[in-house]
Each structure stands twice: as C-alpha cells, then as structure tokens.
Structure 1
Amino acid sequence: MTGNRLKEHQSFETFWPYYLQEHAKPATRTMHYIGTSLVVAIAAYAVVTASWPWLLAMPLAGYFFAWLAHWRIEKNRPATFTYPLWSLFADFKMWGLWLTGKLKPELQKAGIVDP
C-alpha cells in the first residue's frame, strides 16, 4: 500500500486495472458478487413492495461482504476508502462482466491469472 493513493489514479481508466489487482483472488471477487447481488435484490424488493426502509440495508449488505473479503482473504485495504465513487462503479462493472462471462479478459489485461 502506498502513502498517498489519491494522486495515483486521475481517471477511471487507470483505476480499473488497479481495482482488479486489489481483487486478484477469486474468493474476494466471489464475496463481492454476493454483496452486489444482495444490493440489487434488496433494491428490487424495496421498489416492488414499496418498502423504502429496506434501501437502508443496501450499503450494509454490499460493504459487509466486500470489506470482509479484503480484510480476511485479500489482506488489503478496500479501495472504497480512497476512491469511493470509482470503487462503487467498479464493483458493478466487475459484477456485470462476471454475470455476462466477460470478466476473464479484463483480469488478464490487468495481469491477473485465474487458476
């Protein structure tokens, strides 16, 4: 981890490979998929049932699994502490690419080789 990560990434294009490297272990990504899927499910449930208080559970569901993965599996600091919006966008980008089967080339471009 570097001292001042704020100056490292001036664009999402440079942040994205960094984000993937911070999620190099498949188990870390799996925990993120669980959290992001729960966020989407909670949002859908809240909208369909007009149960708006459920929206308050979204950050808890998403961040719980993500942060647990970083601290226990990846052993690094979540990028969301330094790059909150880019990290949120990257979470959904990674999730979408995973759902569509298009994540592997992105991981390879970032220098990550999955077993």
Structure 2
Amino acid sequence: MARYTSYSAFFDFYLSEHSQPRTRALHYIGSSLGIAALIMAVAQRQPLWLLAGVIAGYGCAWIGHFFVEKNRPATFTYPLWSFVGDYHMFTLWLGGRLAKRRAAAEQRLTRP
C-alpha cells in the first residue's frame, strides 16, 4: 500500500478498496450499528454500548474486506483516516453522491 500524505489522496484509494456493492453494504450496516450503539450509550449512560458499536462496525467492515473484496482493510495502516473515510463514504451514499465521487476517484487513480 502506498503512503498517503493527504486525506484526499487516501480517500480515492479508500473508495477503490470498496469496489464491490456487497462490501459497501456491509460497511453501511456496520456504520449504522455504530451510530445506533453511540445513541444507546448516551441514552442509557452505558459506555459498554460503545464497545459493542466498535465490534459491530469493524466486524461488518472486515467481513466485507476479507470475504467479499478479498483485500486488507485500510484500518491496519491508516486507522483514523479509515474511520473517517467509512463515514465519509456512508454520507456520500446517503446523499446519492457516491457513484459520482467513486468515478472521479477512479479517474484520478488511473491517470498516468
């Protein structure tokens, strides 16, 4: 994996590592579970929900990488940018802008 010095360049790579719709769907499920666990942690004042959210979020995402995409999660090399990238991808998807952003990233990555 190349070393990235900007989030923008990393995010192009991040999107390329999520080419399969099933991988992205597993990420969205994990992100949703993470948000739900955060809400539960606050509502119930029970921090154990945060651990459940992390396990559910990363568990879903890693299943997508290891069994669908068959690649190594970026979390292992770029933990913070990967976490931000997951929610960035999620919000792009929710707003209907992911396909356009993925196409732009693909162009930048394949440009000589």
- What is the CA–CA distance in structure 1 between the aligned matches of 2:45 and 2:95, rounded to whole Å? 29
Match of residue 75 from structure 1: 70
Structure-to-structure mapping, 1:94-105, within 5 angstroms: 94-105=89-100
Number of aligned residue pairs: give it: 107
- What is the CA–CA distance in structure 2 between the aligned matches of 1:107 and 1:48, rounded to whole Å? 36
Q: CA deviation at 1:40?
A: 0.1
Greater displacement, 101-110 / 15-24: 101-110
- What is the CA–CA distance in structure 1 between the aligned matches of 2:83 and 2:18, rounded to whole Å? 14
Q: CA deviation at 1:52?
A: 2.1
TM-score normalised per structure 1: 0.88
The percentage of counterpart residues that share the same residue type is: 47
Match of residue 10 from structure 2: 15
- Root mean square deviation of aligned Cα: 1.3
Q: CA deviation at 1:56?
A: 1.5
- What is the CA–CA distance in structure 1 between the aligned matches of 2:18 and 2:102, rounded to whole Å? 9
Match of residue 110 from structure 2: none
Corresponding residue to 1:107 among 89, 102, 106: 102
Q: Which runs of 5+ in 1 are unaligned?
A: none
